[in-house]
Structure formats: structure tokens, C-alpha cells
């Protein structure tokens, strides 16, 4: 099931295939025209287009009154939800809240006097509104809604909506666990929509769904294309692709645990990518054998996903040294990176690019996905080398603050006039001259 590769023997094309996440990088040229047409349809026809999309793509026939999830549906979801799952949801949200509240304490408004009488700073506050996308196509993902909604709630965003496709084959039902997450976070506006159509509705607004300036949440390639399409209309979107993970292992790694963690992310879908990097051939061989054994116990759909993630898109890469393993990890810039090594804290210093860094085999990907508290909605496709995961910071904006005393204004007057004159803006310079604060008046 695991494709075995040797880093120094790999061709440029083989390295490019791994770096672009294999089949996850397939061209969207054939899909894009249909998504653009759907986005335009929602922009032009509103609720009517939403209902048509639900019927056509999700097999759900409702009228406009059924787009917004009702209070009765919330009540039924909470009554029917397994108590253990509900308790787990509460712990998950509490840990995510704790992480983001700690982050918020470090991201407050501030001022500083950078010269006598010359004060600058920032006024930090929440964005005006946000739509939170929670996928449902391959499975139900209450954890995704918790990951994107909790930071928004901690930030204090005044208007939040959840955009949720119905459970496949569920007759329009929204998963009870997803509604429980929304309930725990006080998000009462949950909309039952087709994925790409819902993105368009959240961007432009319809008779039922208000327009939002921000849309955040991972989704399928059609959803990602819709998010990219609405950017052209000034909507802020964060596009997150198929999941991916990398494990860097030394000879202390337990192959049984290693295999379990490789399969953790590999089971997501055939477009996922999972990579093991190690300088030890025996680690690869032992992990590969154990992956075969554990994968055989998974449902067929999960086995097929794992075979693609580990055998087509990713694989196990043998490197010549541990330093080279870290170089490969930085080159790949994984969404999820686990250091299955004897001293992960020491190794972590060398990791520059990873959306999530999990230190040691006692910190598996599944904990990071659900209950660790840090972001699990993370940059994919190599974007971890330039950005991070979804946290409270995505839902904050800052406005610059400035204040000058008369003496401080006098200290910058000549430079302000010189730059104004150089750029040909007479009124800029006159705004200083009229105040009689410079020898150049």
C-alpha cells in the first residue's frame, strides 16, 4: 500500500508529483465553467437558484422556508444526540476556545511613543460578519465547524452564519452533532444548502441568507472553486484543499503507532496525501507491513482512500540523514507534521514550514484534529510556508492609530512637505504649511 521512494534517486518529476500532492493537483479546467455558472445563477436568482441546486446536486426538494434550520430541528438534534458525543463536543470546543483566548490576549489594541509626542498604534476588533462553511460530502464534520466557528466567537464577530450541505442521502437532514456545535457556540443561523451554491449565497446574499464579507471553511474542489470565484467580487475567502500529512521518524518510532498515524489522515479521501520521511529503511519496511495489516480492518472506502494517499499521491521517502529529513519536511510544508522522534522539542527548532507541528508519538493527528485545541483548519498545498491555520486572528482587523503633539508635528513637517512636493501633491504640503510649523513655510 505504501509507495517506497529514495530521495536521492527520485527524479525531478517524481519530487514535483509529491510536492504538488499528486492527484490533488489535477486540473480543475473541466469543472470550473460549471461552478462559475452556478455562482452566477445564485447571484442572479437568489433563493430560487439555491433550491434548484439542492434538488439537482443533493436530491433534496424543499421550499425557501426550509433553507434556514429551524428551532425545532435544533431541539430534536440536541435530544437525539448521543450523550458521549455531546460531551466530547463540549471538551473539543473548550480546548479550542482556550487556545484562541490565549492568542487573543496577545493580540490587543496597543500604542507606543516612537518619538517625543509622536504616538502610533492599532485599534484591534472583530470583522463585521463571517460565513462558516462546514462540509458534508465525504462525512459529517462537527469538528470542522468547531474549528472555524470557535475562533470567530472568541473574536466577538457580531454576525455569524453556518453554511452546511445536507447529509448525503439523508433527505435534507443536517447532522445532529453539527447542530450541537452551532448550539454550544450560539450560532443560530445555520443554512441548509448545496456546497458551491451556499458559498455564492453567503457572498452575494439571497432572500434568506444575508451577504457576508468573509467565508471560511474547507471543502471539496467545487467548493474551493466557488470560494475562488467570489473573491473577484471582494469577498475574503480562505481556500483549504484536501487534507495532507507528513511524519518524520527516527529509529525510536514505534512502527505500530506509526502506521496508525499514517492511516489517520490517509483515510480522508483519494485526494489526500500522506508521506513518511526517515533515514532508516527498517522503519519504512516495518511501517509498511503494519499499514497493510491495519488497513485491512478498515471499511473498503477508507482502504481505497488510504491506498491513494499513501500509494499514489504520497509514500515513504528514505533520506540519507536526519538533517535531510528535516529539509524534506520544510520543502513539503505539510498541513499536519508529526515528529515521531526521541527528542521532538530539539528537532522542532529546525522545522520552518508546517501548518501544525505535533511533537512526539503521544501527540497523534487525531488529537490535533479534534481535542488538542490548536487550529486544525490549516493551509494545504504547500501554503504552510507562507501562512498559518484558522485562529482568532483571521476574524480580527486592525485600524492604525496616530497622534502628534504640536512639537511632534513640527519635527516631521519639513520631511512631509519635501515628500509631498516630490510626488506633486500640492495640497498635501499645503496642509502642513498652513499650520506654520516649519521653516519651509
Task: Kindly state whether residues 367 and 425 are assigned to the same domain.
Answer: no
Residue whose C-alpha cell is 540519507: 320
Q: State how far Cα 191 lies from the chain centre.
A: 20
- Please check whether residues 54 and 185 belong to one and the same domain: yes
- Are 44 and 177 within one domain? yes
- Inform me whether the pLDDT recorded for 25 exceeds 80: no
Q: Mean per-residue pLDDT for 25-53?
A: 89
What is the torsional sign of CA 258, 259, 261, 265? positive
Q: What is the pLDDT of residue 28?
A: 64
Q: Is 24 helix (H, G, I), strand (E, B) or coil?
A: helix
Mark whether 43 and 191 lie in a shared domain.
yes
Identify the pLDDT of residue 172: 92
Check whether residue 40 and residue 169 sit in a common domain. yes
| Residue 392 included in any domain | no
Q: What is the structure's pLDDT at 239?
A: 85
CA 337/CA 353 separation, integer angstroms? 9
- Per-residue confidence band for 23, with pLDDT thresholds at 50, 70 and 90: low
Predicted confidence (pLDDT) at residue 306 exceeds the cutoff of 70: yes
Active-site annotation holder among 244, 335, 356, 393: 335
Place of cell 482556550: 98
* Residue where a domain stops, chosen among 204, 238, 272: 238
Task: List pLDDT tens digits, range 423-434.
Answer: 999 999 999 999
- Give domain status of residue 26, yes or no: no
- Asked if residue 381 is part of any domain, the answer here is no
Cα–chain center distance at 214: 13
Cβ neighbours around 300 below 10 Å, total: 7
pLDDT of amino acid 137: 72
Query: Is a pLDDT exceeding 70 seen at residue 441?
Result: no
In a domain, 378, yes or no: no
Domain carrying residue 414: 405-433
Residue 86 pLDDT = 97
Per the prediction, the chain carries an average pLDDT of: 95
Q: Which of 183, 212, 336, 353 is catalytic?
A: 336
End position of a domain, from candidates 197, 219, 238: 238
Residue 191, beta-bridge partner list: 68, 163
CA dihedral 227, 228, 231, 236 (to 10 degrees): 50
**What is the domain count for the chain?**
3
414 and 311 both lie in a single domain: no
Q: What is the pLDDT of residues 210-267, one digit of tens each?
A: 999 999 999 888 999 999 999 999 999 988 888 999 999 999 999 999 999 999 999 9
Segment 127-160, tens digit of pLDDT: 999 999 999 876 789 999 999 999 999 999 999 9
C-alpha dihedral over 387, 389, 390, 391, to 10 degrees?
Answer: -100
Cα distance between residue 436 and residue 184, in whole Å: 59
Q: Quick one: 227 and 328 in the same domain?
A: no
Other C-beta atoms within 10 Å of 115: how many?
12
- Helix (H), strand (E), coil (C) string for 37-106: HHHHHHHHHCHHHHHHHHHHHHCCCCCHHHCECCHHHHHHHHHHCCHHHHHHHHHHHHHHHHHHHHHHHC
Q: At what angle do helices 255-266 and 281-295 cross, to 10 degrees?
A: 60
CB 395 within 8 A of CB 152: yes
Q: Taking CA 244 as the corner, what is the angle to CA 132 and CA 295, rounded to the nearest 5 degrees?
A: 115
Would you place residue 187 in the very low, low, confident or very high pLDDT band (cuts 50, 70, 90)? very high
Q: What is the DSSP secondary-structure string of 291-333?
A: HHHHHTTS-HHHHHHHHHIIIII-EEEE-SSHHHHHHHHHHHT
59 and 208 inside one domain = yes
Average pLDDT over residues 270-291: 97
Confidence of residue 22 (pLDDT cuts 50, 70, 90): confident
Q: Establish whether 335 is a catalytic residue.
A: yes
Final residue before a domain boundary, out of 353, 373, 393: 373
| Tens digits of residue pLDDT in 86-112 | 999 999 999 999 999 999 999 999 999
CATH of the domain at 363: 3.40.50.1980
- Predicted pLDDT at 27: 55
Residue 311, all three cell numbers: 500509494
Residue 293 lies inside a defined structural domain of this protein: yes
Residues 159 and 295 in one domain: no
The C-alpha atoms of residue 206 and residue 169 are separated, in whole angstroms, by: 26
Q: Is residue 383 part of a domain?
A: no
Element (H, E) at 396: strand 396-404
Asked if 363 and 225 sit in the same domain, the reply is no
Give tens-digit pLDDT for 325-351.
999 999 999 999 999 999 999 999 999
Per the CB < 8 A criterion, the answer to whether 21 and 244 are in contact is yes
Q: How confident is the model over 370-396, as pLDDT tens digits? A: 999 999 999 999 999 999 999 999 999
**Interatomic CA distance for residues 133 and 217, integer angstroms:** 5
Residues 329 and 279 in one domain: yes
**pLDDT recorded at residue 350:** 97
Instruction: Examine the domain organization and report whether 145 and 254 are in the same domain.
Output: no
Q: What are phi and psi of 169, to 5 degrees?
A: 75, 10
Q: How confident is the model at residue 366 (pLDDT cuts 50, 70, 90)?
A: very high
Q: Say if 440 falls within a structural domain.
A: no
The three three-digit cell numbers of residue 191, written as one number: 443554512
Does residue 439 surpass a pLDDT of 80? no
pLDDT at 26: 55
422 in a domain, yes or no?
yes
Active site residue 76: no
Amino acid at each position: 500500500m505504501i509507495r517506497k521512494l529514495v530521495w536521492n534517486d527520485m527524479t525531478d518529476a517524481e519530487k514535483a508529483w509529491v510536492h504538488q500532492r499528486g492527484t490533488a493537483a489535477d486540473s480543475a479546467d473541466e469543472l470550473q465553467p460549471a461552478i462559475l455558472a452556478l455562482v452566477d445563477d445564485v447571484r442572479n436568482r437568489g433563493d430560487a437558484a439555491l433550491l434548484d441546486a439542492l434538488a439537482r446536486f443533493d436530491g433534496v426538494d424543499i421550499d425557501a422556508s426550509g433553507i434556514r434550520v429551524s428551532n425545532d430541528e435544533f431541539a430534536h438534534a440536541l435530544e437525539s444526540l448521543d450523550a458521549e458525543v455531546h460531551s466530547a463536543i463540549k471538551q473539543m470546543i473548550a480546548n479550542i476556545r482556550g487556545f484562541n483566548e490565549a492568542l487573543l490576549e496577545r493580540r490587543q489594541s496597543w500604542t507606543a511613543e516612537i518619538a517625543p509626542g509622536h504616538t502610533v498604534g492599532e485599534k484591534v476588533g472583530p470583522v463585521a460578519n463571517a460565513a462558516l462553511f462546514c462540509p458534508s460530502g465525504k462525512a459529517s464534520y462537527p469538528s470542522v465547524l468547531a474549528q472555524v466557528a470557535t475562533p470567530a466567537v472568541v473574536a466577538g464577530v457580531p454576525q455569524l452564519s453556518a453554511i452546511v450541505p445536507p447529509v448525503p442521502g439523508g433527505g435534507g437532514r443536517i447532522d445532529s452533532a453539527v447542530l450541537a456545535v452551532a448550539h454550544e457556540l450560539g450560532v443560530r443561523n445555520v443554512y441548509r444548502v448545496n456546497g458551491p451554491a451556499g458559498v455564492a449565497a453567503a457572498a452575494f446574499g439571497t432572500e434568506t441568507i444575508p451577504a457576508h464579507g468573509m467565508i471560511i471553511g474547507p471543502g471539496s474542489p467545487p467548493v474551493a472553486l466557488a470560494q475562488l470565484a467570489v473573491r473577484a467580487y471582494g469577498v475574503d475567502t480562505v481556500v483549504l484543499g484536501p487534507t495532507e500529512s507528513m511524519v518524520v521518524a527516527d529509529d525510536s518510532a514505534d512502527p505500530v503507532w506509526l502506521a496508525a498515524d499514517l492511516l489517520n489522515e490517509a483515510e480522508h479521501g483519494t485526494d489526500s496525501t500522506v508521506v513518511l520521511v526517515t533515514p532508516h529503511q527498517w522503519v519504512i519496511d516495518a511501517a509498511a507491513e503494519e499499514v497493510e495489516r491495519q488497513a485491512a480492518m478498515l471499511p473498503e472506502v477508507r482502504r481505497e482512500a488510504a491506498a491513494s494517499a499513501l500509494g499514489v499521491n504520497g509514500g515513504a521517502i528514505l533520506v540519507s540523514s536526519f538533517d535531510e529529513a528535516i529539509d524534506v519536511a520544510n520543502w513539503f510544508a505539510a498541513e499536519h507534521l508529526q515528529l515521531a522522534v526521541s527528542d521532538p522539542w530539539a528537532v522542532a527548532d529546525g522545522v520552518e514550514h508546517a501548518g501544525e507541528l505535533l511533537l512526539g508519538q503521544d501527540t497523534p493527528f487525531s488529537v490535533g484534529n479534534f481535542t488538542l485545541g490548536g487550529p486544525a483548519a490549516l493551509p494545504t498545498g504547500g501554503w504552510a510556508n507562507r501562512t498559518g491555520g484558522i485562529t482568532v486572528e483571521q476574524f480580527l482587523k486592525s485600524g492604525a492609530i496616530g497622534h502628534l503633539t504640536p512639537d511632534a508635528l513640527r519635527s516631521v513637517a519639513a520631511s512631509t512637505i519635501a515628500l509631498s512636493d516630490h510626488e506633486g501633491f500640492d495640497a498635501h504640503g499645503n496642509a502642513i504649511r498652513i499650520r506654520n510649523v516649519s521653516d519651509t513655510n
